């Protein structure tokens, strides 16, 4: 029996190694220094011979080539506008007034106007509950899906004008990265904030880990076109320095991002990208303290050894931070990954959740960050999960969020469909 077990383990190991070797030969492998923008090692894989967007070859210690890919911008630095045309031409123009035009790759909305704000104020973090509230998260540069969702749920008209009245729209983090229309998404949010206020409504843009990462200059999930535009505007060759400048307090978008919170309470609902955990209630962190600590580090690359205060580690750390924490939706994949890095994390217990909600005088927490198959609830409907794989086309039916209307919760999508999430 023992010999058979050893034999099984041996052949399992052989098969695993063979699988890794074979996939590397076919699919390739690369080790990239994202700070310097260099390939430490690059092998394209044999599939580059038939894939159009992949260059066949083998490289060691070579500069990574990045390029523009369609319309982008504008980026505003002092009185200058920087943008990329549909012909991939990098342009600089003088900002003549406070009205800018944002061009998109969306067939249904090729461009929209944005009035720049005369001043930027830090957001309040506690609000009364409106009669109607819609929340969505993790758009990740997917302008088409985002626009479709807003249109179909009568938040905006076809020209991107706010028509949601005094309703509230909550954007629960991770509107950056992966997609190739991040800038357009950001300007649409910026635009809708002003539009909503005119009607007595509100747009809440709560920052997730990817917003924070971009302010740090972390290019790990950027479409390469953003690296190229960051290098051009900042005149820096280092990828991380260039991206950090792009969202620094020297740019309009960077200054605007610094006004945003990482957690907000609306009525008796808490909105946070990742989650809150037992360290936050045990440490008696108020919502305002969580936000103030986070803002102290926006754009400042630091480590847990160099924090200003000991308490800051439960806000800034990559495991316990409200914009990183996964304990409210911890799956095997992430718990295993953490364990392999030497960190053991347990899913939040029902009792711990009760203590969290009691401390903040809340009934529910709405989270993104951790992907789920569909908008759903957990912990006896006390946690609502809204990070789903959104559709990338207009009216796909796959871009989803949650509607809270007169204390009832509904799952909604970009077809305008509305289904009760649960009964209480």
Contact 86, 71 (CB under 8 A): yes
Beta bridge partners, 26, equal none
Sign of CA dihedral 19, 24, 27, 32: positive
Measured between alpha carbons, how far is 313 from 316 in angstroms, rounded to an integer? 5
CA neighbor of 247 nearest in space, from 176, 180, 192: 176
pLDDT band at 8 (very low <50, low <70, confident <90, very high): low
Secondary element (H or E) of residue 89? none
Q: Any idea which residue has 């957990």 for tokens?
A: 378
CA neighbor of 205 nearest in space, from 146, 281, 159: 146
Q: Any idea where the domains of the chain sit in the sequence?
A: 2-63, 72-115, 126-420
Instruction: Say if residue 130's pLDDT is above 80.
Output: yes
Q: How far is CA 68 from the centre of its chain?
A: 22
Measured between alpha carbons, how far is 160 from 405 in angstroms, rounded to an integer? 23
Beta bridge partners, 402, equal 135, 411
CA neighbor of 366 nearest in space, from 206, 161, 191: 206
Tokens linked to 231: 């290098």
Share of the chain residues as helix, strand and coil, in percent rounded to the nearest 5? 30, 25, 45
Beta bridge partners, 383, equal 365, 378
Mean of all residue pLDDT scores within the chain? 92
- Map residue 323 onto helix, strand or coil: coil
Pick the more confident residue, 161 or 14.
Answer: 161
Res 345: pLDDT: 82
Tokens linked to 82: 């920087």
The predicted-structure confidence for 257-316, as pLDDT tens digits, reads as follows: 999 999 999 999 999 999 999 999 999 999 999 999 999 999 998 887 889 899 999 999
The predicted-structure confidence for 336-393, as pLDDT tens digits, reads as follows: 766 666 677 889 999 999 999 999 999 999 999 999 999 999 999 999 999 999 999 9
Task: Count Cβ neighbours within 10 Å for each residue of 179-209 and write b for 16 or more, e otherwise.
Answer: bbbbbbbbbbbbbbbebbeeeebbbbbbbbb
Q: What values do phi and psi take at 29, rounded to 5?
A: -155, 140
Measured between alpha carbons, how far is 414 from 149 in angstroms, rounded to an integer? 4
Q: How far is CA 94 from the centre of its chain?
A: 31
How are beta strands 29-33 and 38-43 bridged, if at all? antiparallel
Measured between alpha carbons, how far is 121 from 255 in angstroms, rounded to an integer? 10
Res 13: pLDDT: 74
Q: How far is CA 406 from the centre of its chain?
A: 28
CA neighbor of 272 nearest in space, from 259, 288, 261, 285: 261
Measured between alpha carbons, how far is 304 from 228 in angstroms, rounded to an integer? 31
Res 420: pLDDT: 97
Query: DSSP characters for 184-244?
Result: HHHHHHHHHHHHHHHTT-EEEE---HHHHHHHHT--TT--HHHHHHHHHHHT--SHHHHHH
Instruction: Say if residue 22's pLDDT is above 90.
Output: no
Query: Domain 126-420 classified CATH 3.30.43.10?
Result: no
Taken as a whole, the chain contains a residue count of 424
Please enumerate in sequence order all residues whose Cβ is within 8 A of that of 235, keeping only pairs 6 or more positions apart, or say none. none
Contact 73, 229 (CB under 8 A): yes
Res 354: pLDDT: 98
Beta bridge partners, 106, equal 109
Query: Which of the residue ranges 7-11, 39-43, 159-163, 330-334 would you say has the lowest mean pLDDT?
Result: 7-11
C-alpha dist (Å) from residue 370 to 235, 339, 390: 36, 17, 13
Res 17: pLDDT: 84
Measured between alpha carbons, how far is 92 from 206 in angstroms, rounded to an integer? 31
With a threshold of 0.95, does the pTM exceed it? no
Contact 163, 156 (CB under 8 A): yes
Instruction: Say if residue 154's pLDDT is above 90.
Output: yes
pLDDT band at 3 (very low <50, low <70, confident <90, very high): low
Query: Which of the residue ranges 12-16, 32-36, 326-330 would you say has the lowest mean pLDDT?
Result: 32-36
């Amino acid at each position: 029996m023992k010999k058979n077990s050893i034999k099984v383990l041996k052949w399992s190991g052989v098969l695993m190694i063979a699988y890794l070797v074979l996939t590397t030969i076919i699919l390739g492998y690369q080790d990239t220094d994202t700070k310097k923008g260099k390939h430490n090692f690059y092998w394209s894989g044999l599939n580059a011979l038939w894939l159009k967007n992949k260059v066949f070859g083998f490289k060691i210690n070579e500069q990574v080539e990045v390029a523009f890919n369609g319309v982008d911008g504008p980026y505003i630095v002092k009185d200058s506008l920087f943008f990329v045309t549909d012909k991939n031409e990098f342009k600089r123009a003088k900002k003549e007034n406070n009205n800018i035009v944002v061009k998109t790759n969306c067939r249904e909305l090729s461009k929209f106007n944005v009035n720049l704000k005369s001043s930027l104020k830090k957001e309040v973090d506690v609000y009364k509950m409106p009669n109607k509230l819609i929340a969505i998260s993790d758009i990740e540069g997917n302008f088409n899906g985002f626009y479709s969702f807003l249109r179909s749920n009568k938040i905006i008209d076809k020209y991107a004008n706010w028509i949601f009245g005094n309703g509230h729209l909550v954007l629960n983090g991770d509107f950056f990265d992966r997609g190739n229309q991040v800038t357009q998404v950001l300007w649409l949010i910026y635009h809708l904030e002003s539009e909503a206020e005119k009607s007595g409504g509100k747009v809440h843009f709560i920052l997730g880990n990817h917003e924070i990462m971009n302010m740090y200059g972390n290019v790990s999930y950027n479409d390469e076109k953003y690296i190229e535009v960051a290098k051009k505007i900042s005149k820096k060759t280092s990828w991380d320095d260039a991206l950090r400048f792009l969202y620094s307090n020297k740019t309009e978008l960077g200054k605007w991002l610094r006004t945003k919170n990482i957690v907000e309470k609306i009525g008796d609902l808490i909105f946070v990208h990742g989650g809150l955990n037992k360290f936050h209630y045990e440490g008696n962190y108020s919502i305002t303290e969580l936000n103030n600590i986070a803002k102290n580090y926006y754009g400042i690359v630091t480590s847990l050894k160099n924090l200003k205060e000991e308490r800051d580690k439960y806000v800034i750390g990559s495991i316990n931070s409200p914009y990183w924490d996964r304990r409210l939706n911890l799956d095997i994949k992430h718990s295993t990954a953490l364990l392999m890095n030497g960190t053991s994390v347990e899913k939040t217990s029902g009792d711990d959740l009760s203590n969290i909600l009691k401390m903040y005088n809340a009934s529910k927490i709405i989270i993104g960050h951790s992907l789920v198959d569909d908008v759903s609830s957990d912990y006896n409907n006390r946690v609502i999960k809204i990070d789903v794989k959104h559709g990338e086309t207009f009216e796909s039916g796959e871009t989803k969020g949650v509607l809270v209307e007169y204390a009832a919760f509904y799952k909604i999508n970009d077809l305008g469909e509305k289904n009760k999430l649960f009964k209480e």
